[in-house]
Amino acid sequence: MRLDEVPGGKYPFRVPAVRGLVSAGELRFDTPVTLIAGGNGSGKSTLIEGIAVAAGFNPEGGSTSFNFATRPSESSLGEHLTLVRTAGRKPRTGFFLRAESYYNVATEIERLDENGFDSYGGVSPHHRSHGESFLDLATHRFGPGGLYLLDEPEAALSVQGCLALLVRMADLVESGSQFIIATHSPILLASPGATILEIDPAGTIDRVPFDRAEAVVMTRAFLADPNRFLTKLMAG
């Protein structure tokens, strides 16, 4: 992925992740699963959204055939990105999921579907819990050879749900799919063979091993001794 043009000084080009991309000039996704990590405000979601728009997905989520807007809020980043595919391979299918607008996507699925929701487990997403409907989506709508852009999917999922998603991702990777995921979840960061790109507050984007990812380090420290961790935290 390349950044072709850099308008100065305004959103989203002051967001840390975008500043890091400006500095690097390009970002490579060399493995079938890339996980983008970093704190709140680091720009993970902005980056995922920009990639989705550049790839032709509806900015609020869905597939490339979705064309709806409830409250346009996307940044202009996607207009300045160029996606370069290995050997020109084009995805056979794909989906963009963003946690905060999934309700709107589910409503559009209801409006469009004429086949009894066969691609979504046979049930309207509005008739399932958020997590159940997302796993239905991953199980029945995601297919081989696809490009899947997920923005914080753990917002919908229990621990068991995150593990189920990892299993489904592994199956789809075996059949030629690619995932780019913004996440805070240590479970999703453990995806086998994945690349973890972590964004620091200054905007530097570094590849880090699982054991050094901040979400993993902090979660391990908390679970090792919650009382001690909280006492130290509350003491300032």
8 A C-beta contact, residue 78 and residue 52: yes
Q: Let me know if 215 is exposed, middle or buried by CB neighbors in 10 A (0-12, 13-18, 19+).
A: buried
On the question of a cis peptide bond just before residue 12, with omega within 30 degrees of 0, the verdict is yes
Q: Please choose, from the candidates 197, 89, 78, the residue with its C-alpha nearest in 3D space to the C-alpha of residue 145.
A: 89
8 A C-beta contact, residue 93 and residue 143: yes
Residue 169, φ and ψ in degrees, nearest 5: -60, -45
Model confidence at 52: pLDDT above 70: yes
Strand pairing class (2-3; 81-82) = antiparallel
Secondary structure (DSSP) of 74-114? --SGGGGEE---GGGPPPSEEEEEEGGGHHHHHHHHHHH--
pTM confidence score:
0.86
* Residues of the domain holding 206: 2-234
Total domain count for the chain?
Answer: 1
Query: How confident is the model over 160-180, as pLDDT tens digits?
Result: 999 999 999 999 999 999 999
pLDDT level of residue 59 (50, 70, 90 thresholds): confident
Provide the pLDDT for residue 132.
83
Query: How confident is the model over 115-147, as pLDDT tens digits?
Result: 555 665 566 666 566 678 888 889 988 999 999
Strand pairing class (195-199; 205-207) = antiparallel
CATH number at residue 35: 3.40.50
